[in-house]
Amino acid sequence: MTDSNYIKVFTGNLIIIQRMISELEKVNISPVIKDQTDSGIITDILGTSVSHFQEIHVHKDELDKAVLVIEEVNSELQA
């Protein structure tokens, strides 16, 4: 997503990403999700597959609002 109006705001596993998406949509932000597994299978040193990570991108005009939501969700998950 280079030269885009979208900015990466979070990277995480599927479960956390789904929670972030839900909270962003509650405040009328439509995130774009990039799935890192599209670029191939990732394996660890033992040859087993590693958890899949996804990225959340938001429009630059929604960045400030999205960051607040993500920080709030991260705080709840850390508690």
- Transcribe 1-63 into DSSP letters: -TTSSEEEEEEEEHHHHHHHHHHHHHTT---EEEEGGGG---B-TTSPBPPPEEEEEEEGGGH
pLDDT of residue 37: 61
4-57 pLDDT, tens digit each: 899 999 999 888 999 999 999 999 999 999 986 645 555 545 554 455 789 999
Predicted confidence band of residue 1 (pLDDT cuts 50, 70, 90): very low
pLDDT of residue 20: 95
pLDDT of residue 39: 52
Is 55 a member of any domain? yes
Is 28 a member of any domain? yes
pLDDT of residue 30: 94
Is 78 a member of any domain? no
- The encoded tokens of residue 70 equal 């993500």
Which residue in this structure is represented by tokens 């979070």?
10
Asked if 33 contacts 17 with a C-beta cutoff of 8 angstroms, the reply is: yes
Structural domain harbouring 15? 6-40+48-73
Is 58 a member of any domain? yes
What total number of domains does the chain contain? 1
Q: What is the CATH number of the domain that holds 11?
A: 3.30.70
| β partners of residue 50 | none
